[in-house]
């Protein structure tokens, strides 16, 4: 199973202070060094985390492949055609949302989405549709020629209690095997973390997981001890240096 490391929230942290660090580019390269199979990033319409320049810089530097998440707008399509990522994941986008809520409604936007898939495919970019674990949406994705779907695991991640969680897991399992039977490549993501990923990673039809927020959050605590040691050392060295004058 492949891991797509979503680096959006490295950019969130950078933008909080308007600094140049932490650098999403550095994060992408480090993720590749430590096992990411691909790098995922979402260029949102409001540029709240990843910026246009990040996408270009990262694309040039990647050793693996780029999965660019984007909304169904002409501006984003032009961007993608310029950047030439290996994969584009088409997602619904609402300005006021905190994160991507729900999947694309392929059924009601068939003509528009089919146009995007075709334009991307003409440029050798593989399109993926981010959709809920809903059989009708999966069939519609197949009908309009999508090669790949990414199942939205947010409802599973947010489910309260064992019964609801089991129901959501069952939907994802059914959706995965239905999609595979149609010949679609099946990926999944959203809201996954070390506590809830195991049952999803056990679904053999799912080829790739895209994980961001929980990974970057975990990285803070895994890295904080080292960062504190480093800072203390620099401070102590500073004191030592004045002691000798």
Catalytic residues: 42, 69, 190
82 touches ligand PXP by CB under 6 A: no
Q: Which of residues 141-160 bind ligand PXP (CB under 6 A)?
A: 150
**Six token digits for residue 236:** 């102590």
212 touches ligand PXP by CB under 6 A: yes
89 touches ligand PXP by CB under 6 A: yes
Q: Which of 99, 112, 167, 202 binds ligand PXP (CB under 6 A)?
A: 99
DSSP letter, residue 217: H
What is d(CA 189, CA 170) in angstroms, rounded to the nearest whole number? Answer: 16
Q: Compare residues 101 and 229 and give the one whose CB is closer to ligand PXP.
A: 101
What is d(CA 103, CA 134) in angstroms, rounded to the nearest whole number? Answer: 10
Question: What x-and-dash track marks residues 108-137 binding ligand PXP by CB under 6 A?
Answer: ----------------------x-------
Q: Which of 129, 180, 189, 179 is nearest to 153 (CA)?
A: 189
Q: Compare residues 167 and 193 and give the one whose CB is closer to ligand PXP.
A: 193
DSSP letter, residue 99: S
- Looking only at the bridges linking them, the beta strands covering 2-6 and 38-42 are parallel
What is d(CA 72, CA 77) in angstroms, rounded to the nearest whole number? Answer: 7
Closest approach, Cβ 40 to ligand PXP, in A, equals 6
Q: Residue 84 region, left (φ>0) first, then alpha (ψ -120 to 50), else beta?
A: left
Q: Which of 3, 117, 192, 203 binds ligand PXP (CB under 6 A)?
A: 192
Closest approach, Cβ 239 to ligand PXP, in A, equals 41
Closest approach, Cβ 235 to ligand PXP, in A, equals 34
Q: Which of 151, 72, 173 is nearest to 119 (CA)?
A: 72
Which residues contact ligand PXP by CB under 6 A? Answer: 6, 8, 42, 69, 89, 91, 99-100, 130, 150, 189-192, 210-214
């Amino acid at each position: 199973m492949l891991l797509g490391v979503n680096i959006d929230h490295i950019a969130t942290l950078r933008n909080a202070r308007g600094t140049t660090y932490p650098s999403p580019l550095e994060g992408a390269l480090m993720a590749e060094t430590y096992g990411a199979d691909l790098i995922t990033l979402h260029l949102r319409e409001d540029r709240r985390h990843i910026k246009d320049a990040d996408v270009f810089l990262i694309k040039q530097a990647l050793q693996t492949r780029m999965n660019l998440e984007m909304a169904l707008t002409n501006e984003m399509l032009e961007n993608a055609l310029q950047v030439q990522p290996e994969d584009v994941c088409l997602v619904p986008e609402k300005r006021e949302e905190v994160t991507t809520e729900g999947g694309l409604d392929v059924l009601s936007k068939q003509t528009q989405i089919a146009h995007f898939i075709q334009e991307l495919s003409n440029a050798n970019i593989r399109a993926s549709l981010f959709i809920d674990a809903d059989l009708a949406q999966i069939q519609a994705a197949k009908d309009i020629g999508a090669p790949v779907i990414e199942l939205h695991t947010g409802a599973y991640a947010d489910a309260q209690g064992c019964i609801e969680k089991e129901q959501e897991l069952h939907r994802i399992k059914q959706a995965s095997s239905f999609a595979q039977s149609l010949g679609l490549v099946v990926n999944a993501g959203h809201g996954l973390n070390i506590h809830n990923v195991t049952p999803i990673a056990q679904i053999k039809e799912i080829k790739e997981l895209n994980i961001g927020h929980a990974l970057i959050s975990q990285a803070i605590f895994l890295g904080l001890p080292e960062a504190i040691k480093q800072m203390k050392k620099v401070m102590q060295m500073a004191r030592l240096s004045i002691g000798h004058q």
